[in-house]
Chains A and B, each alone.
Chain A
């Protein structure tokens, strides 16, 4: 004990992803409770000034890291730094990259790693991570006894830092020795665009699922959204079908939302979608299938065809 709590800063160009900034707020709280310094690490040159205020930032550089993100090379570099500096705990963001890297550390003998925790606390001199399991019906508490200890957070855990949190951090450049490895992986940049829609702060969301099958129905759903003053959300299936861009996707690999009204059109309610919307205020679902899983977590279960129900709702709202 005593070396510090680290937060992994996932970079996106020259900035740091929001999920890592949220991780910093969780880290700051823990550092205070455990009386430990809050530090950060990233791949590439450290960023001296940004919101969130760690006192020191390690920037990992090396031959293996030049080709861009790859779990094995980033994971090994972080593991190397861990062995050298022996941090007490590393927090990873809720992103797929954060889960990958936490899992990589978790693969070491004796490691104490929890992926997808909704809470991390300091209790009786140790760190405890809690995760929602068993179909959301139980919380499991894990005591992190081993080394390295790391946690990747669940989506939307932690607060965005305030502007006043900006602080000059000490930046340390760390050269990581190359590791010889068979096989190779090269990832081309994502096809996605920067998020334009703001689903997180939307008061009302009308979400499109695979049950919306033709252009006419899709247009009607858009009309309904505009009449309600709602943002458009989507399931992964609807994004795959090309109705909306990925920035509209809600769920595990999309955003987690909490509007006052969530209106689901032709959505089955798969767990990966549910985790992104189940905390919404009032949930209204339209589905042909009376047994659709989404009806188990809806306040209003509208059994019917979106092609008929949606235009009827538009008409009633306009009256």
Chain B
């Protein structure tokens, strides 16, 4: 059974301090660190756990484009995938739908039958990439998957989706795209593993193959995105004139309750 994971490097825009837009009103992309899309990391973990159970399973990670600050494919090698492939593109900068088209071509060449990826919607992205990929492949997709209960060598999967009304059980038959969204708790058995020291040593210099149009062959050209960014405008931040309250101090708790009463939010 061949399985693929699509991972991406994204700017780390958590907890940005100060102005996020430069004098040109553009986001300060270059100043920010990058990270592996956290839901891609969760989807990688789901695939790795499947591989842990089924030694026959061959797992390939793919990503589009040169690394900027972090090589997400090397991060995948450090966690135990069998193979990685970088996809490249000579044309203009590519939007997410275009990336999905490249990944679809790679998935076909790899002959993978299940593809895992994360459900997260990132800055300036127009939709969920797992859905874009499924569309490009002509495959079905299961979104918001929080756990995989079963996966066998014939490509039959039992998945759990977390949606508004609770949990849904899904039975899927490969080929299928699995779009993962997991509640991230440290002790959660689904939480992603960290890089393994042994694999880090082993793969520090492993060459990473690059597939371009020559390897991927013709694939349907994307007609370009029909969206145009008009502007970024700073969102006024709500002010939190935070007060620290020492939980062990009865005096401080009492003072807090009095203030809350004065505000009329506590009777």
Contacts and interface: CB of A to CB of B under 8 A. Distances in A.
A162 interface: no
Given A99-B128, A114-B126, A253-B163, A210 B265 contact: no
A299 B242 contact: yes
A143 B141 contact: no
A201 interface: no
A102 B225 CA distance: 14
A187 B184 CA distance: 24
Given A181-B139, A184-B140, A113 B127 contact: yes
A282 B230 CA distance: 35
A72 B235 contact: no
Contact of A100 (B131, B167, B176, B246): B131
Contacts of B260: 261, 282, 284, 300
Contacts of B225: 110-112, 146
Interface in A102-134: 102-104, 106-116, 128, 132-134
B219 to A, nearest CB: 12
Interface in A192-210: 192-193, 204, 210
A228 to B, nearest CB: 7
Contacts of A304: 246-248
Contacts of B4: none
Contacts of A113: 126-127, 227
A229 B266 CA distance: 9
Chain B CB within 10 A, most for which of A112, A134, A286, A317 = A134
Nearest to B230: A141
B128 to A, nearest CB: 4
B170 A185 contact: yes
A72 B132 contact: no
Interface in A227-251: 228-229, 236-237, 240, 245-246
Given A72-B134, A253-B144, A281-B265, A135 B167 contact: no
A192 B234 contact: no
Interface string B242-259: 111111101001101100
Interface residues of A, number: 95
Given A109-B223, A134-B20, A302-B256, A182 B185 contact: no
Nearest to A302: B245
Give the interface centre of B175, B227, B245, B250 by most chain A CB atoms within 10 Å.
B227
B231 interface: yes
B266 A187 contact: no
Contact of A303 (B123, B222, B235, B244): B244
A96 interface: yes
B244 A301 contact: yes
A316 to B, nearest CB: 6
Interface string B138-154: 11111110000000000
B136 interface: yes
Interface string B200-214: 000000000000000
Contacts of A140: 123-124, 229, 231-232
Contacts of A136: 235, 237
A261 B228 CA distance: 40
Nearest to A283: B240
Interface in B70-122: 97, 100, 121
B166 A191 contact: yes
Contacts of B13: 133-135
A137 interface: yes
Given A96-B143, A282-B265, A303 B247 contact: yes
Contact of A107 (B135, B245, B267): B135
Interface string A209-237: 01000000000000000001100000011
B195 interface: no
Given A146-B226, A187-B170, A240-B183, 6 more contacts: A185-B170, A260-B264, A270-B184, A282-B263, A296-B240, A309-B247
